[in-house]
Structure 1
Amino acid sequence: MILVSHIRQFVFCPRILYFYTFCDIKPVYPEYVSSGSQYHNKQNELFKNRKFIKFKLPIIKAYSNLYLQDSSMQGVADLVLECQNEIIVAEFKNQNKPILNKGTKMQLIAYSKLASKHFNKPFFKIMLICSNNLKFKIFDINSDDLAQFNSTIDKINKMLNQELFPQSCASIAACMQCEFKNYCDDRE
């Protein structure tokens, strides 16, 4: 079963998922991981009193840290907004502007697929929320995004089934922030 958080990591660099899955290594996490955890904890505390009115969406109910699972994936979504005719999954990011990268998009599509099954409602959008005053941006999901997601899942399953050490597509800058950089022979 694929952890949804591993989808984002796989897009960043497929070797991260390989190291987590097949190697008995205790990674040393960069400092930003700790600050991100603190940010998420604060958002969870603030969630109790939020109404999300500024989103201007027909929200029926908001769910924080919702565990979602099907036969192939599992994970905990930061925020799921159940609206009248759709669900919208949101991710809290400890950044100044809601900038969506490919890994986060794939992660949010995975949560959206799981939430869609859970609530029996379609999804058409995903959302990034950043800063404590809920700066946000809603992104539409199209058929190309879904095809890219399916391709990513196929690549993950192929790597997991074949247990082959994957090529790295990461940049040197990405490698410098990786928790497994000391175990990967491609960078100095």
Structure 2
Amino acid sequence: MTSSNSLPIRHLRQFLFCPRIPWLQEVAAMQPLRPIWVTQGQGYHARQEFLSRRRKLSRYSTEDAELLFDQPVGCENPSIHGRIDLVLKGKDRVQIVEFKLGEGKPVPGQILQAAAYAIAAEQTFALPCPEFFVATGKKAKVHHYYLTAERRQEVADKVTQIQQTLADSVLPESSAQSNTQCSSCEYLNTCNDRD
């Protein structure tokens, strides 16, 4: 389904948070201890899967679709792969839903990640994915997005940028803010050049 140099889709969100995270994982092969929010996220996803089986699909602008949870997807152009929280597979289209624990609006990295999943879902299922959703918080508030030509190009451009960063043996610069991003990063002790 995907080539050996296929980029994990999660790296799109991570790269926008801090370009060092994909580099530390892929180039330096550093896998830190799982932060507590990873465990919290797993519990949250399990709860959302349970609730999604009971909720009406109209919240996703559809009435009839097969629900596929933790669905593996991948594609060759761009060369990406990952696992989607929820795929709504209809007869003539697919839609994807990404669940995010935070209560606020999705951040750009989360939206870009979901757009990449939508592109991979199209190629995996050989069906169009014209729209995608990011559901946030305990009540899974639905945020609706379209897979536009601009979003497709943004995903392709960012994948290329990440692949170029991973091809370099030098730790990339980071624009992360030490009082916000850095303080919540599992690699905080690795990046000792930050103020």
TM-score by length of 2: 0.84
Query: Structure 1 stretch 101-110 or stretch 122-131: which is displaced more?
Result: 122-131
2:121 corresponds, among 95, 100, 115, to: 115
Q: Is the 8 A contact 1:125 1:140 kept in 2?
A: yes
- Matched position secondary structure for 2:171: coil
Rounded Cα–Cα distance in structure 1 between residues aligned with 2:161 and 2:47:
35
Map of 1:155 onto structure 2:
161
2:144 is matched with 138
Structure 1 CA distance, aligned partners of 2:8 and 2:128?
22
The worse-fitting range, judged by mean Cα deviation, of 162-171 and 87-96 is 162-171
Unaligned runs of 5+ in 2: 1-5
List gaps (5 residues or longer) in structure 1.
Answer: none
Q: What amino acid does structure 1 have at the position aligned with 2:88?
A: L
Distance 1:83 1:138, change over 3 A: farther
The match for 1:8 among 9, 13, 21 is 13
User: Hey, what's the Cα distance between the residues in 2 that align with 1:80 and 1:24?
Assistant: 31
Aligned to 1:64: 69
* TM-superposition CA deviations, 1:127-151 (whole Å, max 9, x none): 0112444321212232322222111
Does structure 2 conserve the Cα–Cα contact (< 8 Å) formed by 1:30 and 1:177? Answer: no
Mapped partners of 2:13, 2:57: distance in 1: 26
Provide the TM-score with structure 1 as the length reference.
0.87
Q: Which moved more, 1:119-128 or 1:22-31?
A: 22-31
CA distance in 2 between partners of 1:25 and 1:118 (Å): 30
Is residue 94 of structure 2 the alignment partner of residue 90 of structure 1? no
Residues 52-98 of structure 1: CA distance to partner in whole angstroms, max 9, x if unpaired? Answer: 2433424332211111123422111001122454322111111224x
Q: CA RMSD in A?
A: 2.1
Counterparts in 2 of 1:32 and 1:53: CA distance versus 1, 3 Å: same
For the residues of structure 2 that align with 1:184 and 1:81, how far apart are their CA atoms? Answer: 40
1 CA distance for matches of 2:154 and 2:97?
19
Decide which of 40, 48, 52 is 2:45's aligned counterpart.
40
Q: 2:83 aligns with which of 73, 76, 81?
A: 76
What amino acid does structure 2 have at the position aligned with 1:22? V
- Greater CA deviation, 40-49 or 175-184? 40-49
Give 1:48 shift: 4.0
Partner of 2:3: none
How far residue 24 of structure 1 moved from its aligned partner, in angstroms, is: 4.1
Paired letter, 2:47: K
Q: Identity over the aligned pairs, expressed in percent?
A: 26
Number of aligned residue pairs = 187
Higher helix proportion (structure 1 or 2): 1
Q: 1:18: which partner in 2?
A: 23
